[in-house]
Amino acid sequence: MNTEKKRVLIVDDSALVRQVLKNILTRHPNLEVVGIAKDPYEARERVRELNPDVLTLDVEMPRMDGITFLSKLMKAHPMPVVMLSSLTAKGTSTALDALDLGAIDVIGKPALDQATGLEAMGTEIAETVYAASLAHVTGRRAPAHDASTALAPLAQRARAGRALIAIGSSTGGTEALRQVFEAIPENLPPIVVVQHMLPGFTAAFAERLNRSSRARVKVAQEGETLKPGTVYLAPNDIHLTVARGGAGMVAVLEGQERVSRHLPSVDVLFHSVAEACGSHAMGVILTGMGEDGARGLLQMRQKGARTLGQDEASCVVYGMPRVAYLRGAVEEQAPLGAIPGHLVAWCGREA
């Protein structure tokens, strides 16, 4: 096993934030802070000089903002980047812009008393940076593969309320989900999703996906009936499950204890789908760090559901799909670009 520490470069215009981040990241057994830069111009030289494994990058900096630098960096020297963004409406939009440009993840900076706030998030920050350091970054935004052909059999199955698709993802998942939802048709059965992301970002992420997808994309609400042609994202800080209702499947939001280290948890969603839908469901596990979703996906497969895992070559982090595959939960692995076609093919099969 490779125990070599991952090398981190911190880029932030605040001396206080730089020091706090250095203290936090140095405590992680698998991270080493090899450099600090106060602005993008200095960061550019440090990247060339130090060749770090991962970079933390503040959004708001003098001389050049973090988004502009990220865009330039991903063209000239693609590498894992974790953005630091304020938890304001503007900051949320900017953070999603960063993810679109290729940032692996985003850390929300508290508006007040940043030192105390960042220290309180220390473990989460260090794990986020470490997960990002393991990411496979190419700097190329993959085109979406259009899977919106042969739609005739889908609408009938969707209306019948007998099919449900469940997807789980984490690190790298925002981009993976974008590619999937841009490629699928608008009349698939309901799709329920758990994507691990920073609290406060889910609603804006859903709105952005909704603008680029044929299907409607929204944050799930308690008790709502799941409708065809709609993608339901789990909200923050509560688990998303499904249950049978009088008019079909309904969303149930319950439980605030972390499961598989996450809230919401992919395992919790998949377990509920296994029980409520059995063989009338399809489970998909996408890129992400850790093992959340492996147990639930295995239960889905044991109940007769079709299960699919993203393959290693197309994952940003081949963690969750790998564990699920090794445990026998994944029936088939596929590259990200082929997953929309698998969803369409499954939905168009004979009932």
Active site residues per annotation: 170, 196, 292
- Fill in the amino acid letter for 273: V
Burial class (CB in 10 A: 0-12, 13-18, 19+), 272: buried
Q: Can you tell me whether residue 98 is helix, strand or coil?
A: helix
94 secondary structure, DSSP code:
H
CA 28, 34, 39, 40 torsion: positive or negative?
negative
Give which of 165, 344, 329, 342 is closest to 242, Cα–Cα.
165
Give which of 266, 283, 286, 224 is closest to 249, Cα–Cα.
224
Length of the chain in terms of residues written: 351
The radius of gyration computed from the CA coordinates of the chain, to the nearest angstrom, equals 20
Beta-bridge mates of residue 167: 193, 284
Asked whether the beta carbons of 37 and 14 are under 8 A apart, the reply is no
Beta-bridge mates of residue 193: 167, 233
Residue 264: cis peptide before it, omega within 30 degrees of 0: yes
**167 Cβ partners below 8 Å, 6+ apart?**
177, 180, 191, 192, 193, 194, 283, 284, 285, 286
